[in-house]
Structure 1
Amino acid sequence: MSIQLQSSIFNFLNALKENNNRDWFAENKSWFVEEESKLKSFFTNVMDGLNEQDVIESMKAYRIYRDIRFSKDKTPYKIYRSCSFKRSTDALRGGYHLEITPKGSFLACGFWQPNKEDLFRIRKEFEADTEEINEIISSSAIQKYFGGFYKGEALKTAPKGFDKEHQAIEFIRKKDFLLLRKFTNDQVLSSSFFSEVMESFNAARPFLDYMSDVLTTDVNGESIL
């Protein structure tokens, strides 16, 4: 089965970028609906593929309308299309994300801005032992598709209660725990893009499963579910 995105999605998003107003969008609503239908079909195929290698609870294709209530940027529409896939049950933590946009498409897996309880638990795990996470992050599959942890946001120094000289301080300072892979426009439009997305997500599974184990146990390794 051939699952391939077409250049028309980039044509639409580029045109929207140059005409980010309600009048233009209304005049081109049928174009948007056509592109959105094709994208959602692609996202649905990704979800089906994920369910062959993981257990996905839900897919969320984000709306194109921006929330401008508290933003200085009052342009009403996003110039990207994105979708997230949530893993099922409390035992399977983390998720998958795919974003399509001209000259900036990417996929990501993991934990973006975890809540304070999860963040503290992850940091305590890394404080105690980083052997397993280092082994996962340095694996050939993770290195091939992601090159290691995404840099993301981090504290300038150690979190309160942690030793700034700790050997794992680079992990402990992180605010996000993500694997991220970027794509060129040509890669997105290639016939192999769907396969590359699925292979990348599959390569991230050991990381997601490890983090799920951490976040469903206490510091003594006892289940909290």
Structure 2
Amino acid sequence: MSFKNQTEFLKELQKNNNKEWMDLNRKWYKQVRDEYIEWLNSMNTRLSAIDNDYYDTPGKKGINRINNNLMFHPNKPVYKDHFGAGFDKKPNTADFYFELGIDRCIFAGGLWRPEPKMLRSVRDAIDYDGEEFVKILNKKSFKNRFGNLFEDVKLTNSPKGFDKDHKYIDLIKNKTFAVFQEFSTKQTNKPNFDEELINAYKEMLPFRRYLNKAITV
């Protein structure tokens, strides 16, 4: 699929980020959204064939709202500058995320600032079997694609119940366990882009499975 229509729409939307413009261009918005959902449906089908535990996520369930939440972020623009969607979106698990932006796109996955009970479960898993997690993070193909864990809020001191000299204390201090790959929007229009998404999904599977096992066992 070519995302040129979607990116052109996003460019114009950012020049005219208001409800009045959106109302005048509602037909265009519905067209690009429907095209995007159709592509999400096709990728959902392909990804479900890869992973036996895949949680069926049709496009309409996976796609994110284009409106920003102004109740909690009143200073943000009315509309986002990207189309975002999740795959394998089983509630309270680490899903796989794709974001189509104007200049950049990302593949991402993991747990973004999970609630305390879930976060404790991940830390306990690292305490019990951190070697396996480190092995996943340090795999050459994984590191080449995603680099290190996403740098987010991190504790200064050891969390309660964990020794400051713990072998994996640097990992345990994290509040977010996520990785991402960023690339140019131009790359989404290459013939092999769907395969690139599938390869990213496959590469991230062990990482996401480790986290999901930690929070569901």
Shared topology, TM-score over 0.5?
yes
Point out where structure 1 has 5 or more consecutive residues left out of the alignment.
218-225
Aligned partner of 1:221 in structure 2 is none
- Pairs within 5 Å for 1:129-168: 129-168=129-168
Aligned length: 212
- Pairs within 5 Å for 1:48-59: 48-54=45-51, 55-58=54-57, 59=61
Question: Structure 1, residues 111-154: CA drift from partner, whole Å, max 9, x if none?
Answer: 12222111111112222332111111111331232123222332
CA distance in 2, matches of 1:18, 1:110: 32
CA distance 1:52–1:134, change in 2 (3 Å): same
Counterpart amino acid of 2:68? R
Aligned partner of 1:70 in structure 2 is 72
Question: Structure 1, residues 193-219: CA drift from partner, whole Å, max 9, x if none?
Answer: 2111110011111122222332233xx
Aligned partner of 1:178 in structure 2 is 178
CA distance in 1, matches of 2:100, 2:91: 27
Aligned partner of 1:101 in structure 2 is 101
The question of whether the paired residues in 2 share the 8 Å contact of 1:96 and 1:109 is answered with: yes
Counterpart amino acid of 2:45? D
Aligned partner of 2:195 in structure 1 is 195
CA distance 1:187–1:167, change in 2 (3 Å): same
Report the secondary structure of 1:107's partner residue: strand
- Pairs within 5 Å for 1:121-132: 121-132=121-132
Aligned partner of 1:114 in structure 2 is 114
Aligned partner of 1:85 in structure 2 is 87
Are residues 1:47 and 2:44 paired?
A: yes
Q: TM-score normalised to the size of structure 1? A: 0.85
Point out where structure 2 has 5 or more consecutive residues left out of the alignment.
none
- Pairs within 5 Å for 1:19-30: 19-30=16-27
CA distance in 2, matches of 1:121, 1:171: 13
CA distance in 2, matches of 1:122, 1:186: 36
Alpha-carbon shift at residue 89 of structure 1 (Å): 8.6
Aligned partner of 1:220 in structure 2 is none
CA distance in 2, matches of 1:130, 1:67: 37
C-alpha root-mean-square deviation of aligned residues, in Å? 2.0
Counterpart amino acid of 2:74? K
CA distance 1:41–1:136, change in 2 (3 Å): same
Report the secondary structure of 1:105's partner residue: strand
Alpha-carbon shift at residue 53 of structure 1 (Å): 1.1
Q: Bigger CA drift: 71-80 or 173-182?
A: 71-80
CA distance in 2, matches of 1:154, 1:211: 18
